[in-house]
Structure 1
Amino acid sequence: MPAYYRATIGEFLSADPQNILGGLQLAYAADGFLSQYSKQTQAWATIIPLLKTQLEILVRITPATIAWSVILEYPLYRLRKRIDVVVLTESPIIVIECKVGSQEFLAQDRRQIEEYALDLRDFHAASSSRRIVPILWSTLATELPREYPEYVSSNDQVASTIFVGVQGLATQLSKLSISDDRPLLVAETWDRSAYRPVPNIIEAATSIFSGHDVRAIANYDADNLNIASARLVALIQEAKDLKKRYMLFLSGVPGAGKTLAGLHVVHNAISSGIVLSCTEI
């Protein structure tokens, strides 16, 4: 699984913190880190009891939340980062960045958690249609930022960042327990969901050009566009017939139509049953 740990809140609360920590350490080591005992694992040892305490309060406030799921250390491969905590509900996806030992809310930390939320919105299939709420949790902060507004539901898919200090995480989570008649997100399904649900250049080209000529999507004035495209397709077909590998380059000044020509080539080649590997540089 991509995440280091996943469970329902009920399972998380009943588990031995040392077992959770051990599982995180093993996953951390399996990722190629030489030492299992590092600053990161020390942070887990601190945050797990704090998180358990807040989730116990949450379940007392709203018992139905015991069926929610908690995911620890979910990877965002594009950013080469891991989300500390993700809480899955029947309504929003809650993304939590834990700043262990921090007494303040830094602008850079706020940008970090907001970037995580936006990344899930844009590249994670199971999150693309869900509301996402980022929370910045500075575990020793006793005061919230002066400009911090109360959480207000809106139509924006990614909500404004919620700030949480020493206390208050459970209370904020309970405010998000608003069902919108959608099914409860299942941890394993969400964890294994495609991370980059965006079409590659080949998928995009076949979709865009299906039933359309190149003139339907752009006005182009490069006289040799069709000639260049036809020549590339001919070379691709030649490579296929000869069972060889060709590396083809199409050059030109910015705006000359290289990308458009490439899309045209991809569509024509795919339509002919040719397998391609394309890169734009």
Structure 2
Amino acid sequence: MNADNPHAAPALRRWMVGERLGAFLRADPAAILGTLLQHSGGSVEPTQRNAWARQVEILQALDWPAEWADRARIYFEFSVPRLGRRVDVVLLARHALFVVEFKVGESAFTRHALDQVWDYALDFRHFHEASHAIVIVPVLIATEAAGRAVRIETTAHGDEMARPLAAAPGQLIPLMRDALARFDRPAIDADAWERGRYLPTPTIVEA
């Protein structure tokens, strides 16, 4: 996606689905699921298919701020090569990157799941060139969880990384608003961010 600058170098696609938020919200859920299946690279278990469908359903049903429609970006199944995994959803909104992991059908927030989304956030910070100096907020969503108090806490390093947040689906937008208000940074250039290189070791360079 480089619609704003047709002359920019194409981004190395690390995601299965990536859209402006407004386009995602208008899209047919079946078409989004079809794209995920198309890019999965093999057979997909029914549990994974159902998880994708549920994530899309939840995210499209939220009351997103109208001003985010054309500026925010959403990515599904964002590759984290060093860990050999994919992040469920990455949201780029104004001046922050939200790394979102879903636990579909779960009501509890396990330590393992919180560590998982934290590892993803750290990977972006240390190995994705365009994420070295931006605000990063890891979020764990248990789809059946009841709402709970969510307080944004940062690390002790002054690096503008939030500690992992555990939230019910309906709390995602409020916590995003809180995080954006908490940190005052320049807006992220989404096209430049998409082109950012992933450097898992000093000897491996992505062009």
2:160 to 149, 153, 157: 157
The residue number in structure 2 matching 1:235 is none
Q: Deviations over 1:5-26 (max 9, x none)?
A: 1111111111111111100000
Matched residue SS, 1:196: coil
Percent identical residues: 30
Say whether 1:112 aligns with 2:124.
Answer: no
Say whether 1:130 aligns with 2:134.
Answer: yes
Query: Aligned equivalents of 2:26 and 2:55: distance in 1?
Result: 16
Q: CA deviation at 1:91?
A: 1.2
| 1:92-103 alignment, distance < 5 Å | 92-103=96-107
Distance 1:12 1:23, change over 3 A: same
The residue number in structure 2 matching 1:82 is 86
Distance 1:21 1:122, change over 3 A: same
8 Å CA contact 1:97, 1:135 repeated in 2: yes
Q: Which amino acid aligns with 2:124?
A: L
Matched residue SS, 2:36: helix
Unmatched 5+ residue regions in structure 2? 1-12
8 Å CA contact 1:95, 1:113 repeated in 2: yes
Matched residue SS, 2:170: coil
Q: CA deviation at 1:168?
A: 1.2
Say whether 1:21 aligns with 2:33.
Answer: yes
8 Å CA contact 1:3, 1:191 repeated in 2: no
TM-score by length of structure 2 reads 0.82
Structure with bigger helix share is: 1
TM-score by length of structure 1 reads 0.62
The residue number in structure 2 matching 1:42 is 50
Q: Which amino acid aligns with 2:29?
A: P
Query: Aligned equivalents of 1:8 and 1:100: distance in 2?
Result: 24
Q: CA deviation at 1:136?
A: 0.5
Query: Aligned equivalents of 1:192 and 1:166: distance in 2?
Result: 30
Distance 1:141 1:149, change over 3 A: closer
Query: Aligned equivalents of 1:2 and 1:70: distance in 2?
Result: 12
Q: CA deviation at 1:166?
A: 4.3
Say whether 1:3 aligns with 2:7.
Answer: no
Higher relative contact order (CA 8 A, sep 6+): 2
Unmatched 5+ residue regions in structure 1? 204-281
Structure with bigger strand share is: 2
Query: Aligned equivalents of 1:46 and 1:197: distance in 2?
Result: 31
Q: How many residues align?
A: 189
Deviates more, 1:116-125 or 1:45-54: 45-54
Matched residue SS, 2:64: helix
Query: Aligned equivalents of 1:158 and 1:172: distance in 2?
Result: 14
8 Å CA contact 1:124, 1:195 repeated in 2: yes
Q: Which amino acid aligns with 1:87?
A: L
1:71 to 56, 71, 75: 75
Larger Rg: 1
The residue number in structure 1 matching 2:3 is none
Distance 1:183 1:150, change over 3 A: closer
Matched residue SS, 1:114: helix
The residue number in structure 2 matching 1:168 is 171
Question: How well do the aligned residues superpose, as a CA RMSD in angstroms?
Answer: 2.3
1:185 to 163, 171, 189: 189
Query: Aligned equivalents of 1:132 and 1:50: distance in 2?
Result: 22
Query: Aligned equivalents of 1:38 and 1:77: distance in 2?
Result: 24
